[in-house]
């Protein structure tokens, strides 16, 4: 896991899933979500996969797919900080 993300001790919502399963989880279970392009960076990790890729917002937290080459895709939840505003500013893009 990216060092920065790991230090934030993310809550693991879904583990060792496919990137499509992660996409569906966020779409079905998170009320506010935003589409991002592959390679979009949150903290020190890239969002990896085939479009559409979604990043969710729940309160002050971000919920997003995190893909590891050996262990599949995880859906993680971390405090969003400044990333929340950056994500919302993209609305309509």
Q: Which of 28, 50, 85, 92 binds other proteins (CB under 8 A)?
A: 50
Contact 64, 75 (CB under 8 A): yes
Q: Residue 43 corresponds to which tokens in the numbers above?
A: 């903290």
User: How many Å apart are CA 28 and CA 22, to the nearest integer?
Assistant: 10
- Our finding on whether 67 is near other proteins (CB under 8 A) is yes
Of 15 and 32, nearer to other proteins (C-beta) is 15
Tokens of 29: 């279970």
Residue 60 found at the interface with other proteins (CB under 8 A): no
- Subset of 68-87 contacting other proteins (CB under 8 A): 68-73
């Amino acid at each position: 896991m990216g060092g920065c993300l790991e230090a934030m001790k993310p809550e693991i919502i879904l583990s060792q899933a496919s990137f499509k399963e992660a996409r569906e989880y966020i779409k079905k279970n998170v009320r506010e979500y935003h589409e991002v392009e592959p390679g979009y960076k949150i903290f020190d990790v890239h969002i990896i996969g085939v479009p559409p890729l979604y990043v969710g917002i729940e309160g002050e937290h971000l919920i997003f797919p995190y893909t590891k080459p050996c262990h599949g895709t995880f859906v993680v939840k971390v405090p969003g900080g400044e990333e929340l505003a950056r994500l919302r500013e993209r609305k309509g893009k």
